[in-house]
Chains A and B, each alone.
Chain A
């Protein structure tokens, strides 16, 4: 009962403030201290909306304002350069590993996108001594950063301490599906059989520290 009351209260409260716009609607003039944010585009000295949604003006920083349009409900997510993505390793070759990106940030994608992780992008240091087969196995779930978008797939990189294998299963008892436990930056161990396998292990951070990082 209290919940219902609060819901109506919040919506009615927001009803007065929200500014709805549709594609092609002129929002404001382009000025030095205004940044063109998501869901908008610039044309002829003005900023226009290119999505239907609610206008959002971010004034957190003193120097500039970010104008963006947020679409309520479903909004499209495509991996962009610099995003941290979750991917599953599909195939490994001596030069690269093919992955399927299924999550961008904390948004689960509807369909997976192809990702390519080259040997040079696995580790930050000692790049020439990296072996793909010592870093990933097919079936591993990895965290990676999108470097850029090539013609056919997204180039990924795990050259950061926080990026790399998150979930992995030992190759011989894969049927049991017991995830291995990381025991160092380059090794994981199966708790059941105590088999050690080499991986490029990610130093997974708690959510709070990642948020502050952003």
Chain B
């Protein structure tokens, strides 16, 4: 009836922890016991830190900490499409590149694969966000560096990229926010940590390892609800930019998880709004200061020109040479 696929699930790629925690179903039980389980579901984001414009060398950059998950996103100005990769499209192309810092993940083998999956899913999430008609025949490169990985990787990356895009001045239809929720053995984990995500993955992987000998326990486990939902939303038009799920969920549970994520998205949106508004104010003040300095410079030049007109060129040069400290030596 329900077949358990043994391919590695891309959504759960978000998190892996270094050591092999368990090899037998018994270990799995023990590990599950050791995780602290939420008594009630609080649909609130983790403690979050967002800063736009962290790098001075790149135009659009953002850094985000979501609990222990730390992500840096960089958006470069659009480049022209290279001929070889030019498909006949009448929209701008978005390319997302995700990279793990060398110290971010203990398991190095799966890193390239995970980077690729995360990159493609990030691209899908951002495509409805960006006004792609504004840069035809251009490609937008978005780079994400994952500094630390404690679950909710994709949703954090989406949030961070949204801020970086706006910081770069690329037109977007809306603000984007994303969050993750999952259910395992009747417990709903909002913003699952790396351990929970690992458990969810091992739940299938572990079964695959055990193989046909314990097909009974397989079935029993499969009937239990387990699954993960990542949801990216744009609230102005109440659109979902991306909604991905995996695992086995009943429709009612699905709706419940969806509601949780939407609620988290709303509060994250408030936070991002505040951060971006502050950023605009900050930049505006800087701009005004720059403009005032320019005006002063203009005035200074104007007085020089005025003096030049009055004194005549030769006299002016003479008077300036006297002021020059190097000629004194």
Whether A associates with B in a native complex is yes
Residues of A within 8 A of B (CB): 3, 6-7, 10-11, 14, 18, 20, 22-26, 39, 41, 43, 48, 50-54, 71-76, 78, 110-111, 113-114, 149, 151-153
List residues of chain A with CB within 8 A of the CB of B166. 22-23, 51-52
Min CB–CB distance B228 → chain A (angstroms): 27
Total residues of chain B contacting the partner, CB 8 A: 45
Among B80-135, those with CB < 8 Å from A are: 80-81, 83, 86, 131, 134-135
List residues of chain B with CB within 8 A of the CB of A76. 59, 77-78, 168-170
Contact indicator A10/B77 (Cβ below 8 Å): no
List residues of chain A with CB within 8 A of the CB of B296. 3
Min CB–CB distance B136 → chain A (angstroms): 6
Contact indicator A14/B288 (Cβ below 8 Å): yes
Min CB–CB distance B110 → chain A (angstroms): 35
List residues of chain B with CB within 8 A of the CB of A48. 173, 236
Contact indicator B277/A149 (Cβ below 8 Å): no
Looking at B146-154, B219-227, B244-252, B278-286, the stretch in contact with chain A turns out to be B278-286
A-B contact count (CB 8 A): 109
B137 at the interface (CB under 8 A from A): yes
Contact indicator A11/B171 (Cβ below 8 Å): no
Report the bound CA distance from A54 to B281 in whole Å. 9
List residues of chain A with CB within 8 A of the CB of B326. none
B55 at the interface (CB under 8 A from A): no
B27 at the interface (CB under 8 A from A): no
Among B130-164, those with CB < 8 Å from A are: 131, 134-138
**Contact (A72, B284) CB under 8 Å given A151-B86, A152-B83:** yes
**Contact (A10, B288) CB under 8 Å given A22-B277, A52-B279, A152-B86:** yes
Report the bound CA distance from A28 to B289 in whole Å. 30
Partner of A78, one of B81, B135, B285, B289: B135
Min CB–CB distance B248 → chain A (angstroms): 35
- Chain A residue with the shortest CB-CB distance to B82: A152
Partner of A20, one of B168, B170, B277, B286: B277
B234 at the interface (CB under 8 A from A): yes
Contact indicator A111/B175 (Cβ below 8 Å): no
Contact indicator B288/A23 (Cβ below 8 Å): no
Among B192-238, those with CB < 8 Å from A are: 234-237
List residues of chain A with CB within 8 A of the CB of B168. 74, 76
B79 at the interface (CB under 8 A from A): yes
Report the bound CA distance from A151 to B83 in whole Å. 9
Partner of B288, one of A7, A39, A41, A75: A7
Can you list 27 A-B pairs, Cβ within 8 angstroms, ordered by A?
Answer: A3-B292, A7-B292, A10-B292, A11-B288, A11-B289, A18-B284, A20-B277, A22-B175, A22-B273, A22-B277, A23-B175, A24-B172, A24-B235, A24-B236, A39-B171, A41-B131, A43-B237, A48-B173, A50-B131, A50-B173, A51-B169, A71-B169, A72-B283, A72-B287, A76-B169, A111-B77, A152-B137
B174 at the interface (CB under 8 A from A): yes
List residues of chain A with CB within 8 A of the CB of B276. 22, 52
Report the bound CA distance from A72 to B279 in whole Å. 10
Contact indicator B175/A20 (Cβ below 8 Å): no
Contact indicator A54/B172 (Cβ below 8 Å): no
Contact indicator A24/B288 (Cβ below 8 Å): no
List residues of chain A with CB within 8 A of the CB of B59. 74, 76, 110
